[in-house]
Amino acid sequence: MPAGARILIADDEANTLEGLRWALEGAGVAIQTAGDGEAAWRLVQSDPPDLLLTDLRMPKLDGMELLRRVRDAHPDTEVIVLTGHGTVESAVEAMKRGAVDYLIKPINIEELRITVQRVLDTARLRRENEDLRRQLDAKYGFENIIGQSQAMQQVFHQVRQVAPTRASVLIQGESGTGKELIAHAIHQNSPRRRQPFIAVNCGALSPTLLESELFGHERGAFTGADQRRKGRFELAHGGTLFLDEISEISLDLQVKLLRVLQEQAFERVGGTETLRIDIRVIAATNRDIDAMVREERFREDLFYRLNVVRIVVPPLREREEDIPLLANAFLREFSEINGKPLRPLSPKVIAALQAHRWPGNVRQLRNVIEGLVVMATGREITVKNLPPDLRDAAPHGRTIALPAGISMREAEKEIIRAALRETDGNRARAAKMLGLGRKTLYRKMDLYGLD
398 in any annotated domain: no
Q: For the chain, how many structural domains are there in total? A: 4
What phi, psi does 440 have (nearest 5°)?
A: -65, -45
Do 371 and 288 reside in the same domain of the chain? no
Q: What is the pLDDT of residue 144?
A: 61
Q: Are residues 21 and 126 in the same domain?
A: yes
Report if residue 400 sits inside a domain: no
Do 27 and 72 contact (CB within 8 A), yes or no?
no
Same domain membership, residue 298 and residue 190: yes
The CATH number of whichever domain residue 230 belongs to comes to 3.40.50.300
> Would you state the pLDDT for residue 54?
93
pLDDT reported for residue 245 = 97
The verdict on 191 and 53 lying in the same domain is no
What is the mean pLDDT of each successive set of 10 residues along the chain, which is 451 residues long?
A: 82 90 82 92 93 90 91 92 76 85 88 90 80 62 74 92 96 95 93 93 92 89 81 95 97 96 92 93 97 97 97 92 91 93 90 88 96 92 90 59 68 82 81 75 85 73
In a domain, 97, yes or no: yes
Residues 50 and 159 in one domain: no
Domain that holds residue 48: 6-132
Domain end marker among 81, 104, 132: 132
Task: Identify whether residues 384 and 419 lie together within a single domain.
Answer: no
pLDDT value of residue 177: 95
Residue 282 and residue 357 in one domain: no
Q: What is the pLDDT of residue 224?
A: 76
Last residue of a domain, one of 132, 156, 184: 132
Given this model, what pLDDT does residue 337 score? 93
The confidence score (pLDDT) of residue 229 equals 87
The pLDDT assigned to 198 comes to 95
Task: Assess whether 179 and 291 both reside in one domain.
Answer: yes
3-state secondary structure of 34: strand
* Residues 179 and 248 occupy one common structural domain: yes
Where is the domain boundary, 314, 335, 370?
Answer: 314
Pick the closest to residue 230 from 281, 169, 277, 192 (CA basis). 277
Q: Judge whether 424 lies within some domain.
A: yes
Residue 142 placed within a domain: no
Q: Is the same domain home to 278 and 192?
A: yes
